[in-house]
Structure 1
Amino acid sequence: MNDKKLYNNPAEIVDDALEGLAKSNKGIKVVKSHRVVVRSDVNQVIQKGLVTLVSGGGSGHEPAHANYVGEGMLTAAVCGSVFASPPPSNIECALRFAKSPAGCLVIVKNYTGDRINFGLAVEKLKNEGFKLKMIVVGEDCANHSASMTATGRRGLAGVVFVHKIAGAMASRGCTLEEIVDHLKIVCSSLGTVGVSFSAISLPGSDKLLFNLDNDVYSLGLGIHGEMGAFKEKMSSARNIVATMFDHMTGEKNPVRIDINNSRLAVLINNLGGLSNLELTLFANEVLEYFRNYPEIQIERIYIGTFMTSLNMNGASITVLKITTNSQLTDLDSKTTANGWKNQDSFGINNDFELNYKEEEKEYTKEDSTISKKMENALKEALQHVIDELIENEEYLNLLDSIVGDGDCGSTFKRVLLILKEKLNMNKLRTDSPFALLMQLSELAQKDMGGTSGGLYSVFFAAAASKINKECSITTIGESLRAGVEAIQYYGGAKQGDRTMLDALLPCLECFKSEVSSKEISKLIKEKVEEGVNETTHLKARAGRAAYTDTVHHNKPDAGAYAVGLWMKSLCNKLLIE
C-alpha cells in the first residue's frame, strides 16, 4: 500500500507544523525549542487570577492538542513527536508559561507515557510551589481487556469535551477545585468507540503499522495507528454504526457506557482520512440510529475532525452523558481555539426538509405546430435515431474508454430507452418542434445526467428558441446554429478540441436557401463524416478527457461519433422529405 506523507524532513515535521500553525494564528505563540504552544494573552489570563489549562501528548492527532489553545479552551499545549509522549522538560516549559496563582489544571489522555511524563513534570514543579492538579481522561468502550489491567481505558476523542468544558469553567472564574470536581463527573460520563478501514504508516516510513484485509474493518482502535480490538466484515455504514453502539453499550462489555434514558452530547470524529462526504453520511447513520431510541435525547451534535490518528481512514463516536445544564452552557460558550467549531444552533434538526414539487410543464408556442405529414416524418426520424444509437452502444463505450470512463454508449442507451417509451406511448409533442425540443432538453437534463446531459439539454433548449410553424430549411439551420453556439458558450470548447462540436460545426455551413433539402442532406452527411474522422487525429483539449489524453489516437471521439450517428439518421429520414 502506498501511504505517502508530506514533509521536508520526517524528524522536523512537528516543528514545521507548529511554526505554520503559529504564523497563521495571532492568538498563539510557539516555543519552538520545546514544541510548546501558548496563548498570546497568557499574561492577561494570569493577571486576572484565572485557572490555566495545559494538555498535550504525541503529535499526529491534529487538531489535538495545539489547535485547542485559545480563549475558552487550553492555555498551553505541549507536543511530542508523532505518537510519542513529550519529554518532561518540554511539559515543564508549558507549565512555567501557564503558572497562575489560581492554579493550573493538567489534562492528560490515559496513556502510560503521558501519565508518567506529565506526572513527573507536575510533581517537580509542585516542589517549587506551583499549584497544580492533574486529571486523566480514559473513555475507550471497546477494549474489553482495559477493565482487567492496571492501565485502564485509553483516552480518545472524549478529551476534547473535557478541554471545552474545563476551558469554559476557567474562563468564567471557577476555582481549580471546582473544575477538577466537575471534570471527574464528566470523565465518568464519557464513552468512545472507533473504527478503521485501512492501516497507516509513520512519516518517513513505508511500513504499515498493521495489516487489514479489504473485506474487513477494525473496531475498537486507539489513536496511535494500532489495530483495533476486533475485526468485523465490511458492511454498510448503517450496520457499522449499529455494531459500534452494540460494543459501546452492550451489557457483556465490562467497559460499557449506559446511555439509556440519557441526555447526550455526541461527537462524530474523523480519524484523519475519511472524506467529508463519508463523514456526513456516517453522521446521518448515527442520528438515524438514535431515532430508534426516543428515550435518549440528543442535546448537542458535533461533526468534524477533532482527534486524528494521522491519516487513518476511519471515524469514532464519542458520547457525553449530560448531567447538568451548565455542561451545555460550557459546550455552547464561544472559544477562539481554531480546532473547535463555534455553533449557533445545536441538537438534531428534525425539521430539515424543504418540499419542492416540480410542476408538469406545458410547452406551447404560438403557431408552432406542424402538418401531419411532417409529424409522421419526425416520428420515424426519432425512431431511427433511437435504434441507431442503441445499436452502437458497445462501440461508443469503446471509443469513450480511450480517454474517458467508457460509458458514453450506456448513457445514451439509458436515456433513449426512456425516449422510446415516451414515443410509443404518444407522450412526446411530435406535433410541435418547439415543444418536442423542450421535452428533449428536459429529458437530457434529468435522465442523461453528467456533462453530456447538460450539453444536450442546453443544445435542445437553445435550438427551440428558433423554431416556428414553418419548420423550413432556413429555420432548421438557424435552430441548429443556436444550439451549437449555446454548446460553445456554456461548454467552453471550440472546433479542434476533439468534442461533439467537431462533428456539429461543419454542418452549419450546409444550410443554404437556394439548395434543395435532398442536396443539403447529402452535404450534411459528408461534412459530419469529415468532422468525425478529423477527431481521430486530434488531442482532447476540453472536458474531462483534456486532463488524461496525452497521446493521439486512431479512433474518433465518442461524442463526435454519436453526433454523426443521429445527424445522419435525421438526414436520411427527415431532410430528404
Structure 2
Amino acid sequence: MTVSNHWQYSDEILTNSLRGLVRTNPDLKYLAAERVVYSSSSSKDKVAILSGGGAGHEPLHAGFVGKGMLDVAVSGQVFASPSVKQIYSGLKAKKSNKGTLVVVKNYTGDVIHFGMATQKVQAEGYNAKLLVVQDDVAVPRSKNAMVGRRALAGTCLVHKVIGAKAAQDGAKATLDEVYDIGQRVNRNLATVGASLDHVVIPKITTEENSTNEDEDGSDSDEEVEGLKPDEAEIGMGIHNEPGIKRISPIPDINDLLDEMLGYIFSKEDKERHYVDFDDGDEVALLVNSLGATSNLELFAIQNYAVQLLRKKYGIDPVRCYTGTFTTSLDGPGFSITILNITKAGGKEIKECLDYPTDVPAWNCHVSSATWENALGDQAVVEEPEEIAHPKLPTSNVKFDSKLFREMLTEGSKRALEKEPKITLYDTVAGDGDCGETLSRGANGILKAFRKNSLEETDAVKSLSQLTDLIETKMGGTSGGLYAIFISGLANSFKRQEEQNGKGFNVGINATVTALKDALATLENYTRARKGDRTMMDALIPFIEKLDTTKDVKKAALAAHEGAEATRKMNAMFGRAAYVGKEEFKQFEAEGGLPDPGAIGLAAILSGFADAYSKN
C-alpha cells in the first residue's frame, strides 16, 4: 500500500502555490478568483498564448508564463480541468489584436472546457484557435483511434516554440503561423515515462469545505494499488493511468532506457511508432522529473540517454533539456521526450528553442530592471465585474416553479443516495471522483434552493444559472458534460421562443425538442454514443423513449436499463478505456461493473420522474 508523505495544510494549497509563484517573477499577475496567472507586460500586438489544465503537474502550466512563452495559464484543482468560466476569464485577461492560441493537453475534460471557452470568445467575434497536444507513445494506435494519445512533458516544448514564434522578429507572426508551427512540433514529439510507484493525492483542507459541497475532491481519497518494492512501470500516465508493462526486478538504467527509447524509435512496433527519424535528422532531448526523481539522477539519466542515442541510433541531440517540467505531484519517476527538429522545421525550430525567456520554469535570468518594478501584493487582482456577475439571458418561457424545484430536489437527493456505490465503481473504472463530483453538484443545487438564489420561473435564465452552478461546483469532465447539456436546453428554449414569436409555458413537447437539441449540442463535444459505456447510455435512451411515449416514468426506466447494460460493454472513452478487464472481475456477482456516470445520471432521472408523476 502506498504511503502518503505529504505535508499537512491548514488552508487551500493551490491558491497559496500560485500566489507564491507570481512572486518569483515580478512580470506575473494572479487573478485569484479564477486561478489565472498572466503576464502583465505582454503586448496586444502579438499573438497571445493561453494554456492550462489540472493542478498537480507543476511547474506546468503557470510556471511557463512570461516573456517568450505563455501569456496566460489557467489552473484547475488537482488532476481536474479548470472550468469554462476560469478559461474564459483567462482569455479576457490578455486579449490580443492578433488573437489567442489556446493550447491544451489531450485529456477529455481539458479538451471540452478549453474548447467551449474558445468557442465562446469566437462567438463574440474574437480570433482564437485550439491546439491539442499529444505526445505519449504508451497508448497504442488500436486504443487511441477514439481517444487519441495522452499529453505529457512534450507539452512544455510546444509552449517554448510557439511562445518564441509569437514574440520574435517584432511579433510579426500571425495566429495561423503560430498554430502551424505548434502543430509541426506536436506531430514530431514522442514521450515515454517510467515510474517506481503511483502517486497519492494529498488530503488538503480547502477554504470552502466546511459545507462539504465545495471541497477539492477531484480525485478519490482511495489509494490506488501501488507497485511492489522491486517493480517499475513503463508508460504510466501522469494521472496514474496504467502503462505498457511492469518490470521486476527494477532493471539497470541502461536497460530501462534501451526499452523506453525502443518504443519511440522502433519502426517494427506499429502500435507505438508515431514519429519518423531518418539519418541526419536533428533532435532535441528532454529529460523530465515526474516530481520525486532527484536532479542528481536526472542529469545522469540524460547522460545515459545521450550515450545510448549515439551508440544505437546514431543520433547526437543538438539540444538537451533536463529538469522538472511536467510532474505527477511527487511521482517517483521520469520521462524521456524526443523532438524531431528537422521534420518539425529545422532552423526555425532551433531559433525558437533558443529564444530568450524569463519564465520561472525555464530557469532563465530575470533582469534587474524587472525586479525594480516588482508588483508585490498588487499581483493579486480583483475579479472583473463582468466575470464575477455575468449578465444572464432571459425569456418569457416559463417553468412550473413548484415542479421545477421538486424535480431538481428529488434528482439531487437520488444522486447523493447513490454516491457511495458510484464512487466504488469509479475507483475501479476511473479516477474515483465521479460520485463526489455528482455530490458536489447535487449539494450545490440544494443549497441554492435553500438560499432562494436560483431562478425558478424563467426557463432560460434558470437553466443558464444552473449551467454556471454545475460547472462551478462539479468541475472535471462530468461537470463539463452536464454544463454543455444544460446550456443546450437553455439555448433551445430561447430559439423556440424566437420561432414562436412569443413566450410559452414549458410542456412535454417543448421539453422533448429541447432535450433533442441539447443532445445534438453535446454530441459536438464528445464522440461518445450509445454503446460506448458512458453516461450517454442512460441519456440517449431517456430522450428516445420520452420522444416516442411522452411518458417520463417510461423514459427514466429506459435510462436505468441503459445504464445497467453498460455492465457488459467495453469502455471506449475516459480512463476506464485504459483499465484491464481483470480489474472488473470483483463485480461479476452483480453482473459486471457498470459505468459510474451512467448509473449516476439514471439515478437523477429516476428522481425527476418520481417528482413529475406526483404533480
What code does the residue aligned with 2:347 have?
A: N
Secondary structure in 1 aligned to 2:284? strand
Residue 252 in structure 1 maps to residue 260 in structure 2: no
Out of 221, 225, 241, the residue aligned to residue 210 of structure 1 is 225
Q: CA deviation at 1:75?
A: 0.2
1:411-436 residue CA offsets vs partner (Å, 9 max, x unmatched)? xxxxxxxxxxxxxxxxxxxxxxxxxx
What code does the residue aligned with 1:197 have?
A: L
Pair 206,95 (structure 1): closer, same or farther in 2 beyond 3 Å: closer
Residue 263 in structure 1 maps to residue 282 in structure 2: yes
Q: CA deviation at 1:64?
A: 0.3
1:489-543 residue CA offsets vs partner (Å, 9 max, x unmatched)? xxxxxxxxxxxxxxxxxxxxxxxxxxxxxxxxxxxxxxxxxxxxxxxxxxxxxxx
The structure showing larger relative contact order (alpha-carbon pairs under 8 Å, at least 6 residues apart) is 2
1:63-90 residue CA offsets vs partner (Å, 9 max, x unmatched)? 0000000000000000000000000000
1:182-225 residue CA offsets vs partner (Å, 9 max, x unmatched)? 22111110000000012210010874333211222111111113
Secondary structure in 2 aligned to 1:38? strand
Q: Distance in 1 between matches of 2:228 and 2:221?
A: 18
Residue 155 in structure 1 maps to residue 151 in structure 2: yes
Pair 25,341 (structure 1): closer, same or farther in 2 beyond 3 Å: closer
Residue 358 of structure 2: aligned partner: 336
Conserved 8 A contact 2:4-2:200: yes
Q: Counterparts in 2 of 1:127-276, with a 5 A limit?
A: 127-144=123-140, 147-172=143-168, 173=171, 174-204=173-203, 207-233=222-248, 234-250=250-266, 251-256=268-273, 257-261=275-279, 262-276=281-295
What code does the residue aligned with 2:69 have?
A: M
What code does the residue aligned with 2:77 have?
A: S
Residue 97 of structure 1: aligned partner: 93
- Give me the TM-score of the superposition, normalised by structure 1: 0.57
Q: Distance in 2 between matches of 1:305 and 1:210?
A: 25
Conserved 8 A contact 2:71-2:94: yes
Q: Which deviates more, 147-156 or 88-97?
A: 147-156
Pair 7,105 (structure 1): closer, same or farther in 2 beyond 3 Å: farther
Q: Distance in 2 between matches of 1:253 and 1:298?
A: 24
Identity %: 38
Q: Distance in 2 between matches of 1:29 and 1:188?
A: 32
Residue 18 of structure 2: aligned partner: 18
Q: Distance in 2 between matches of 1:122 and 1:290?
A: 40
Out of 69, 79, 88, the residue aligned to residue 73 of structure 1 is 69
Conserved 8 A contact 1:146-1:255: no
Q: Distance in 2 between matches of 1:196 and 1:294?
A: 24
Conserved 8 A contact 1:194-1:219: yes
Q: Distance in 2 between matches of 1:317 and 1:58?
A: 21
Residue 39 of structure 1: aligned partner: 39
Q: CA deviation at 1:61?
A: 0.4
Q: Distance in 1 between matches of 2:17 and 2:282?
A: 38
Q: CA deviation at 1:249?
A: 2.3
Q: Distance in 2 between matches of 1:276 and 1:154?
A: 25
Residue 117 of structure 2: aligned partner: 121
Pair 313,146 (structure 1): closer, same or farther in 2 beyond 3 Å: farther
Out of 317, 327, 332, the residue aligned to residue 298 of structure 1 is 317
Residue 284 of structure 1: aligned partner: 303
Q: CA deviation at 1:147?
A: 4.9
1:544-576 residue CA offsets vs partner (Å, 9 max, x unmatched)? xxxxxxxxxxxxxxxxxxxxxxxxxxxxxxxxx
Gaps of 5+ in 2: 204-219, 366-615
Pair 332,7 (structure 1): closer, same or farther in 2 beyond 3 Å: farther
Q: Distance in 2 between matches of 1:290 and 1:278?
A: 18
1:307-354 residue CA offsets vs partner (Å, 9 max, x unmatched)? 0000000000000001210111110111011101349xxxxxxxxxxx
Q: Distance in 1 between matches of 2:357 and 2:60?
A: 15
What code does the residue aligned with 1:308 have?
A: T
Residue 552 of structure 2: aligned partner: none
Q: Distance in 2 between matches of 1:297 and 1:115?
A: 35
Q: Distance in 2 between matches of 1:214 and 1:247?
A: 25
What code does the residue aligned with 1:227 have?
A: P
Conserved 8 A contact 1:266-1:320: yes
Q: Distance in 2 between matches of 1:121 and 1:180?
A: 17
Residue 29 of structure 2: aligned partner: 29
Residue 6 in structure 1 maps to residue 22 in structure 2: no
Conserved 8 A contact 1:332-1:342: no
Conserved 8 A contact 1:225-1:312: no
What code does the residue aligned with 2:122 have?
A: K
Q: CA deviation at 1:248?
A: 2.1
Q: Which deviates more, 161-170 or 211-220?
A: 211-220
> Is the radius of gyration larger for structure 1 or structure 2?
1
Give me the CA root mean square deviation.
1.7
Q: CA deviation at 1:290?
A: 1.3
Residue 310 in structure 1 maps to residue 311 in structure 2: no
Q: CA deviation at 1:145?
A: 5.1
Q: Which deviates more, 126-135 or 22-31?
A: 22-31
Conserved 8 A contact 2:306-2:316: no
Conserved 8 A contact 1:2-1:206: no
Q: CA deviation at 1:25?
A: 2.5
Gaps of 5+ in 1: 344-577
Conserved 8 A contact 1:259-1:296: no
Secondary structure in 1 aligned to 2:360? coil
Q: CA deviation at 1:3?
A: 1.7
What code does the residue aligned with 2:256 have?
A: I
Residue 583 of structure 2: aligned partner: none
Residue 535 of structure 1: aligned partner: none
Q: CA deviation at 1:41?
A: 1.3
What code does the residue aligned with 2:247 have?
A: E
Secondary structure in 1 aligned to 2:361? coil
Q: Distance in 2 between matches of 1:325 and 1:228?
A: 35
Q: Which deviates more, 145-154 or 135-144?
A: 145-154
1:378-415 residue CA offsets vs partner (Å, 9 max, x unmatched)? xxxxxxxxxxxxxxxxxxxxxxxxxxxxxxxxxxxxxx
What code does the residue aligned with 1:333 have?
A: Y
Q: CA deviation at 1:226?
A: 2.8
- Give me the TM-score of the superposition, normalised by structure 2: 0.53
Q: Counterparts in 2 of 1:419-498, with a 5 A limit?
A: none
Q: Distance in 2 between matches of 1:59 and 1:148?
A: 24
Conserved 8 A contact 1:247-1:253: no
Conserved 8 A contact 1:53-1:98: no
Q: CA deviation at 1:2?
A: 2.4
The number of residues matched between the two structures is 338
Q: Distance in 2 between matches of 1:304 and 1:267?
A: 8
Conserved 8 A contact 1:196-1:219: yes
Q: CA deviation at 1:296?
A: 2.1
